[in-house]
Structure 1
């Protein structure tokens, strides 16, 4: 039906355009993926913009909550000086991660891993909580949709049968009815046997509700990046400056031809999503701060926020994000920040597993590569 097609397209667009690599109007890929010109390392500028990280010397409290790590806080340079979106000739769409600016955060605890299916199931059992994907959309949200078209569901990655130009993301994303955190890849899928996998198909309010129940909160973007950097200064990745030290991948990301069916070669050990904690932790004992699933943070998304902080010319203490959301590419949608990249990040299209880069999402949208982790103030 025409109206149904329009409504599903609208919901799909809300989420996909919201993701950082949705700036497809800036991308002009070549016809054949085999001919894409890729580099070993990204182009960077302004290396001197990174000043030394100064880690607080406050010792860890005697009682660290189970499953969490102590992050001492301190002063660091936040943001990215990477010029391109990918390693394969996709130019200039990481500008929301500049300018690099100086930030201070107090110490806090952070979950060592993303919240898992097992943990989220305990929350739902205790509270009866119903996620956004499980709620029937309303006529208020989609006034032109027919009532019969308003079905529960969410967005899933849908590989293409053959190679495609990467200039139309709708080729590999689909809104599928019956998709939710218990059925993350469509109504026939299940989380049985995946208790230790990160929970996905989580909208912002779903993550915030869990955090409140657990006596925690979502991290600020500054807290997330300080923790991800592990006390180091200006590294490209949470583990250093080389994508594959000693020839080994350090995160669950996409290798092979994106977004073709069975295109992910699994060179990192996984095709698709992985259980948590399958790679070495960073210096603070945190797992999967790059790849596997994107993570919600608490800050509103604003394209110009980093520039505004840099222009203040001072150390910003415990920033909470901008006072309002601002995305000129999609001004009508309410967005918050994502961090860390996912198993779908590829050198051909999106390398936002790089530690200083950012993502974004409409607050009531979810997908099968989006989850979260929590923090706790002392």
Structure 2
């Protein structure tokens, strides 16, 4: 199986187990109420998954088949990031190759099944929305990863995605990059109007939640508690990518093992 050489691949941050303040009274109705949630220790990718990393996953799928794919995904699904819309061609892959010069950009045009399969291939999984929010906010329930006041100098809200880690002043309290803007991110939580009612997305019923806002969003949707974006698991967009988490220490992970 493919060997991981990219420094980002095992560059993960430990999120300590404990009680976290999630939700917001100042956002949409589906962010309420503010609540305390107990989480176990986990590790999260410091950066969004890049095109270069995703390319190695695609190579393994082509060599070994759909070993890491969700049982509910369409048969013989193509995991190549691609969309036929004209506005998406700039970010679409051709012949298994990412767009030129975007190797260190977050991989976008990936649907939920693509993200799930990559995470499993990497020996990881997708985060729940609670895990994602805790990694973005830290333990004090702040509005944005860097504090309570929005700053466009701390996140990528602009014309297109940028290389991961381009906004070091916007890291979360844990040191996680791009949790606001750049690419919005898939989670493994199925949407319910009340956060406490949300369940694991099984790949069949419900709509998985997308977190974090993107380069095409605004200060409201880039808040760490914002959770009003949910889509079909087959949804692909130039604004949506993902990152992974692990219940094990990163140095124990073996990519490519089923």
TM class by shorter-chain length? 0.7 to 0.9
CA-CA distance at 1:334 after TM superposition: 3.6
Q: Does 1:66 align with 2:45?
A: no
Are 1:155 and 1:179, in contact at CA under 8 Å, matched by a contact in 2? Answer: no
Equivalent residue, structure 2, for 1:372: 242
User: What SS does the corresponding residue of 1:249 show, helix, strand or coil?
Assistant: helix
Equivalent residue, structure 1, for 2:47: 113
Equivalent residue, structure 2, for 1:217: 125
Equivalent residue, structure 2, for 1:303: 193
User: What SS does the corresponding residue of 1:283 show, helix, strand or coil?
Assistant: coil
Q: Does 1:253 align with 2:157?
A: yes
Q: Deviations over 1:121-169 (max 9, x none)?
A: 0011112268989958xxxxxxxxxxxxxxx9637695xxxxxxxxxxx
CA distance in 2, matches of 1:333, 1:156: 27
CA distance in 2, matches of 1:222, 1:362: 20
Are 2:201 and 2:207, in contact at CA under 8 Å, matched by a contact in 1? Answer: no
Are 1:253 and 1:343, in contact at CA under 8 Å, matched by a contact in 2? Answer: yes
CA distance in 2, matches of 1:210, 1:76: 28
Structure-to-structure mapping, 1:310-349, within 5 angstroms: 321-322=198-199, 334-347=206-219
Measured at CA, do residues 99 and 209 of structure 1 come closer, stay the same or move farther in structure 2, by a change above 3 Å? same
Query: For structure 1, which runs of at least 5 residues remain unmatched after alignment?
Result: 1-64, 84-93, 137-151, 159-175, 255-270, 309-320, 326-331
CA distance in 2, matches of 1:235, 1:81: 12
Would you say how many aligned residue pairs link Structure 1 and Structure 2?
225
Measured at CA, do residues 71 and 157 of structure 1 come closer, stay the same or move farther in structure 2, by a change above 3 Å? farther
Are 2:191 and 2:230, in contact at CA under 8 Å, matched by a contact in 1? Answer: yes
Q: Does 1:198 align with 2:102?
A: no
Equivalent residue, structure 2, for 1:228: 136
CA distance in 2, matches of 1:370, 1:236: 21
User: What SS does the corresponding residue of 2:209 show, helix, strand or coil?
Assistant: strand
The TM-score with structure 1 as length reference comes to 0.54
Measured at CA, do residues 122 and 324 of structure 1 come closer, stay the same or move farther in structure 2, by a change above 3 Å? closer
Choose which of 69, 87, 97 in structure 1 pairs with 2:31. 97
The TM-score with structure 2 as length reference comes to 0.77
Q: Does 1:353 align with 2:243?
A: no
User: What SS does the corresponding residue of 1:228 show, helix, strand or coil?
Assistant: helix
Choose which of 179, 182, 191 in structure 1 pairs with 2:93. 182
CA distance in 2, matches of 1:237, 1:156: 32
User: What SS does the corresponding residue of 2:187 show, helix, strand or coil?
Assistant: strand
Equivalent residue, structure 1, for 2:20: 76
Are 2:164 and 2:178, in contact at CA under 8 Å, matched by a contact in 1? Answer: yes
User: What SS does the corresponding residue of 2:37 show, helix, strand or coil?
Assistant: strand
Equivalent residue, structure 2, for 1:143: none
CA distance in 1, matches of 2:31, 2:18: 20
User: What SS does the corresponding residue of 1:362 show, helix, strand or coil?
Assistant: coil
CA-CA distance at 1:346 after TM superposition: 2.4
User: What SS does the corresponding residue of 1:75 show, helix, strand or coil?
Assistant: strand
Choose which of 223, 233, 237 in structure 1 pairs with 2:144. 237
CA distance in 2, matches of 1:155, 1:224: 30
CA-CA distance at 1:190 after TM superposition: 5.4
CA-CA distance at 1:324 after TM superposition: 7.0
Query: For structure 2, which runs of at least 5 residues remain unmatched after alignment?
Result: 1-8, 249-258
